[in-house]
């Protein structure tokens, strides 16, 4: 893999470096800055969470890192190589439901392998491995319409894992699920991350989820989305969802909530004002 020598100012074990990203959109009422000078770096094997109130630019950041949008300022580098379009080392799990309804679970999970040209028997075997990893054995021949929302999201995760990305980038993968399912799927993700030594960047608006999973949590401000603070989570690993009831866990949650509350209430005020403006 070619490396770009110019972008190696960061420590060599930073596999993902996001450097001073600014992304604006042209909207009906002028330019809107969604992501404002955001920088972060993720080390090999690290689990980082990005948290922020709704509408703060998290998905925009996700799309920038994933190479799905252009027209932004700043740089994203993976292993020192500048991201210019979707990077093969990055696997994305999307916020919206993204399984292919016309493919069975196996064919969904085997999709990236099919694209890579792997023969059928081999890719089905690989797919079965990842299906088991997310705990969906027995559902190989089901279609997404026959699965619950949480199961579909696990199919999407398995599909991305099957492409064996160096970096797993997830945008609120459990956003639409209830709290219990979310905690249990969090355990699943931790197990997988532990097993595969996967580097993860998780985008979320859920504090519990961020603290439960991450080594570091980056708190974003409400629009325009800036980095407010980065919190190190020094909880022992391997973790399970039981940790949620520990005292240390509670302290981290409280700390992040106090940062986030300011931003979230700013966001709500902003929206109320906008509504009031629209009505007058």
Partner 1 sequence: MNAAATTRKFSEQRFLPFTLGFGALVAFFVAVEVLIRIGVISRYIVPLPTQIFAAFERVIVEEEILSRFRVTFVEAAIAGGMISVVGISLGILLYRFDLLRRATETWVAAMASAPTVLMYPLFLVIFGRSMWTIIMMGFVAGLPAVILKTLEGLSGTRRVLINVGRSFNLTPSQQFTKILLPAALPTIFVGLRLGLIFMLINIVGVEFLINFGGLGQLINDLAERYDLPGTYATIFFVVLVSVCFFIFTEKVERWLRPGT
Q: Which of 44, 59, 98, 191 lies at the binding interface for Mg ion (CB under 5 A)?
A: 59
Residue 40 near residue 6 (C-beta atoms within 8 A): no
- Bridge pairing between strands 73-78 and 167-171: unpaired
* Smallest gap from residue 62 Cβ to partner 1 (A): 10
Q: Answer with the entry of ligand ATP, Mg ion, partner 1, none that 205 interacts with (C-beta below 5 to 8 A by kind).
A: ligand ATP
Strand locations in the chain, DSSP E?
A: 14-27, 30-43, 47-51, 73-78, 81-82, 90-93, 167-171, 199-204, 216-220, 227-232
Cβ atoms within 10 Å, residue 95: 17
Closest by Cα among 236, 249, 169, 247 to 209: 249
Q: Answer with the entry of partner 1, ligand ATP, Mg ion, none that 111 interacts with (C-beta below 5 to 8 A by kind).
A: partner 1
Mark the segment that binds partner 1 (CB under 8 A) among 111-119, 176-184, 194-202, 227-235: 111-119
Main-chain phi, psi angles of 245, to 5 degrees:
-90, 0
Q: Answer with the entry of Mg ion, ligand ATP, partner 1, none that 88 interacts with (C-beta below 5 to 8 A by kind).
A: partner 1
Q: Answer with the entry of ligand ATP, partner 1, Mg ion, none that 60 interacts with (C-beta below 5 to 8 A by kind).
A: ligand ATP
Q: Answer with the entry of partner 1, ligand ATP, Mg ion, none that 257 interacts with (C-beta below 5 to 8 A by kind).
A: none
Q: Answer with the entry of partner 1, Mg ion, ligand ATP, none that 54 interacts with (C-beta below 5 to 8 A by kind).
A: ligand ATP
Residue 50 near residue 262 (C-beta atoms within 8 A): no
Binding site for ligand ATP (CB under 6 A): 25, 27, 32, 34, 52, 54-60, 95, 205, 223
248 forms part of the interface with partner 1 (CB under 8 A): no
Mark the segment that binds partner 1 (CB under 8 A) among 84-92, 129-137, 188-196, 236-244: 84-92
Helix residue spans in 1-145 (DSSP H): 58-65, 105-109, 111-115, 120-133
Task: Encode burial over 12-41: b for 16+ CB neighbours within 10 A, e otherwise.
Answer: eebbbbbbebebbeeeeeeeebbbbebebb
Q: Which of 73, 86, 179, 268 lies at the binding interface for partner 1 (CB under 8 A)?
A: 86
Q: Which of 7, 41, 44, 143 lies at the binding interface for partner 1 (CB under 8 A)?
A: 143
10 Å CB burial of residue 274 (0-12, 13-18, 19+) is exposed
Sites for Mg ion among residues 93-122 (CB under 5 A): 95
Q: Answer with the entry of partner 1, ligand ATP, Mg ion, none that 92 interacts with (C-beta below 5 to 8 A by kind).
A: partner 1
How far, in Å, CA of 97 to CA of 67, rounded? Answer: 20
Tokens representing 182 are: 């979310």
Sites for partner 1 among residues 56-75 (CB under 8 A): 63, 66, 68
Interface residues with partner 1 (CB under 8 A)? 63, 66, 68, 86, 88, 90-92, 94-98, 100-104, 111-112, 115, 143-145, 163
Enumerate binding residues for Mg ion (CB under 5 A).
Answer: 59, 95
């Amino acid at each position: 893999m070619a490396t770009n020598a110019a972008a190696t100012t960061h420590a060599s074990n930073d596999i993902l470096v996001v450097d001073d990203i600014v992304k604006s959109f042209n909207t009906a009422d002028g330019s809107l800055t969604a992501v404002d000078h955001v920088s972060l770096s993720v080390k090999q094997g690290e689990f980082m969470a990005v948290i922020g109130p709704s509408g703060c630019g998290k998905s925009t950041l996700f799309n920038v890192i994933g190479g799905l949008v252009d027209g932004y300022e700043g740089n994203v580098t993976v292993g020192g190589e500048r991201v210019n379009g979707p990077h093969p080392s990055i696997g994305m799990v999307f916020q919206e439901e993204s399984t292919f309804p016309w493919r069975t679970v196996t064919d969904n999970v085997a999709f990236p392998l099919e694209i890579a040209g792997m023969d059928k028997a081999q890719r089905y075997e690989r797919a079965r491995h990842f299906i088991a990893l997310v705990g969906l054995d027995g559902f190989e021949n089901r279609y997404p319409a026959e699965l619950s929302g949480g199961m579909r999201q696990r199919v999407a995760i398995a599909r991305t894992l099957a492409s064996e990305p160096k970096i797993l980038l997830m945008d609120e993968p459990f956003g639409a699920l209830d709290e219990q399912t979310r905690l249990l799927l969090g355990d699943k993700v931790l197990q997988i991350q532990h097993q595969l030594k996967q580097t993860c960047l998780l985008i979320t608006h859920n504090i519990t989820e961020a603290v439960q999973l991450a080594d570091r949590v980056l708190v974003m401000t409400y629009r325009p989305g800036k980095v407010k603070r980065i919190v190190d989570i020094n909880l022992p690993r391997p973790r399970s969802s039981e940790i949620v009831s520990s005292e240390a866990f509670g302290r981290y949650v409280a700390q992040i909530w106090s940062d986030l509350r300011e931003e979230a209430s700013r966001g709500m005020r902003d929206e109320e004002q906008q509504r009031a403006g629209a009505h007058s």
